[in-house]
């Protein structure tokens, strides 16, 4: 089976999560990708070091001495024959780096958020089309088991229509980033772009773009954008949908949802995935845990290889997520006024 040669740019927390997922998955029979080269501006990142991050897939010891290692993207492009690159670097560099690889004839999987504004998203999409290459953004919840199960219940209609949904996400303040880029909105967009983006993307994936948003936000740290937000998504004649994000928690990382259907409630939380059908005792939904990151990369590789068409996570979808986050910020700036994305 053909395997795509994958380059990985960025060996911080999320880059190492991708590396671990890819190195494990490529051992499976018929997995369509293999790691071919890595790049990071810090040579020490190529050593065997342990990195703790807020998703379990990434806590491990990884070394990259058996792979070509680069500290310069241009040199990597010139010397390696890559089919696909995974970009996991600070957000303000996403657009220019993705464009560089696309123009070099390399497919791009870029970590979320897509970019810091819609104009940059449009440029990435335009360059991908002009060069006949595929572009996908790492909105990994679309490939996360609990969210895929939720999506299947919504699509099947077996529990009835959705009446309401609540999504939440929180963590300790990420003060561990390279040169503290997380804490500057001009570099990372703050919590609303970097962390809240997951649930914003999931809301529009599950329910479509809302007619409006109303967001309350609070800035805790100077120059970080909104560090905690609460958003109501307005769907005319549709479900009542709400999300809450906070990266000032003292209890570590947490995320989940509660979605109320006509005949049942599905809840993801610390207790697992629980389905409560009206008139019956709550039951744990059993499933085999898989890696969202390897699922994501495998899916994109199959799109590149012509085995499927990307109808789950298009770059246009990711651009709409940036539109929605931008509308939320505008609403918070206006004291929770309704803003139409």
- CATH assignment of the domain containing 40: 3.40.50.720
Residue whose C-alpha is closest to residue 33's, from 304, 333, 335, 253: 304
Q: Report the chain's C-alpha Rg in angstroms.
A: 20
- The DSSP-derived string for 284-324 is EPP-----HHHHHHHHHHHHHTTSS---SS-HHHHHHHHHH
* pLDDT of 327 above 90: yes
Domain presence at residue 305: no
Q: What is the mean pLDDT of residues 199-207?
A: 98
Question: Is 241 part of a structural domain of the chain?
Answer: yes
| Residue 302 resides in a domain | no
Return the higher-pLDDT residue of 179 and 334: 334
- Point out which residues pair with 284 in neighbouring strands: 274
What is the per-residue pLDDT for 46?
A: 86
Higher per-residue pLDDT: 26 or 37: 37
- Side-chain-side CA neighbours of residue 176 (13 Å): 11
For the entire predicted model, the pTM comes to 0.93
Least confident of 11-20, 59-68, 93-102, 112-121: 59-68
Using the 3D structure, point to which of 71, 105, 139 is the last residue of a domain.
139
In this prediction, residue 48 carries a pLDDT of: 59
The answer to whether residue 52 scores a pLDDT higher than 60 is: no
Compute CA distances 16 → 22, 38, 73, 123, 256, whole Å: 10, 11, 18, 27, 24
* Residue 188 CA, distance from chain mean position: 14
- In 230-256, which positions are buried (b, 16+ CB within 10 angstroms) versus exposed (e)? bbbbbbeeebebbbbbbbeeeeeeebb
| Domain end call among 111, 139, 167 | 139
The answer to whether position 40 is within a domain reads: yes
Average pLDDT score, the chain? 93
Work out the average pLDDT over 118-131: 98
Report the number of distinct structural domains present in the chain: 2
Portion of the chain with pLDDT greater than 70, in percent: 95
Q: How buried is residue 51: exposed, middle or buried, by Cβ count under 10 Å (0-12/13-18/19+)?
A: buried
Kindly state whether residues 29 and 97 are assigned to the same domain: yes
Residue 201 — φ and ψ, nearest 5°? -65, -40
pLDDT over 50 at 190, yes or no: yes
* DSSP strand pairing (228-234 vs 107-111): unpaired
**What is the arithmetic mean of pLDDT over 100-125?**
98
Identify the CA nearest to 100 among candidates 67, 76, 70.
76
pLDDT reading at 174 higher than 90? no
How much is the pLDDT for 62? 60
> Which one has a higher pLDDT value, 144 or 1?
144
Q: What's the CA gap between 328 and 116, in Å, rounded? A: 14
What is the H or E stretch that residue 62 is in?
strand 60-62
Region 120-143: mean pLDDT is: 98
- Residue 100 and residue 304 in contact, taking contact as beta carbons nearer than 8 Å: no
Mean pLDDT of 234-241: 96
Q: What number of other Cβ atoms are within 10 A of residue 61's Cβ?
A: 10
Select from 139, 156, 184 the last residue of a domain: 139
Q: CATH code at 222?
A: 3.30.360.10
Please give the share of the chain, as a percent, with pLDDT higher than 90: 81
Q: How confident is the model at residue 251 (pLDDT cuts 50, 70, 90)?
A: confident
Domain that holds residue 123: 4-139
CA 290 to CA 294: how far, in whole Å? 8
In 124-197, beta strands by DSSP E: 135-138, 162-170
Query: Is residue 226, in this structure, part of any structural domain at all?
Result: yes
The whole-number pLDDT of residue 53 equals 45
């Amino acid at each position: 089976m053909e395997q795509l040669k994958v380059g990985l740019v960025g060996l911080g927390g999320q880059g190492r999560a991708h590396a671990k997922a890819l190195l494990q998955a490529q051992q499976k029979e018929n997995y369509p990708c293999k790691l071919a080269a890595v790049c990071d501006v810090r040579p020490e990142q190529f050593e065997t070091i342990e990195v703790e991050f807020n998703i379990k897939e990434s806590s491990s010891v990884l070394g990259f001495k058996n792979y070509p290692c680069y500290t310069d993207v241009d040199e990597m492009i010139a010397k390696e024959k890559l089919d696909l690159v995974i970009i996991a670097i600070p957000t303000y560099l996403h657009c220019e780096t993705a464009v560089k690889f696309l123009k070099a004839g390399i497919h791009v999987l870029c970590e979320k958020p897509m970019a810091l504004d819609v104009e940059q998203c449009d440029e990435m999409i335009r360059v991908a089309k002009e060069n006949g290459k595929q572009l996908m953004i790492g909105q990994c919840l679309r490939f996360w088991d609990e969210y895929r199960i939720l999506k299947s219940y919504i699509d099947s209609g077996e529990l009835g229509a959705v009446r309401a949904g609540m999504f939440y996400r929180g963590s300790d303040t990420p003060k561990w980033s390279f040169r503290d880029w997380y804490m500057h909105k001009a570099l990372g967009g703050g919590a609303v772009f970097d962390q809240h983006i997951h649930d914003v993307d999931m809301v529009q994936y599950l329910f479509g773009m809302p007619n409006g948003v109303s967001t309350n936000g609070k800035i805790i740290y100077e120059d970080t954008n909104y560090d905690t937000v609460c958003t109501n998504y307005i769907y005319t004649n549709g479900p009542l949908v709400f999300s809450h994000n906070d990266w000032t928690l003292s209890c570590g990382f947490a995320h989940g949802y509660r979605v109320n259907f006509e005949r049942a409630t599905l809840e993801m939380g610390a207790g697992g995935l629980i389905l409560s059908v009206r008139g019956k005792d709550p039951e744990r939904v059993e499933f085999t845990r898989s890696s969202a990151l390897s699922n994501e990369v495998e899916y994109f590789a199959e799109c590149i290889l012509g085995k499927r068409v990307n109808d789950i996570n298009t770059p246009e979808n990711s651009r709409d997520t940036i539109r929605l986050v931008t509308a939320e910020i505008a609403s918070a700036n206006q004291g929770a006024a309704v803003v139409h994305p």
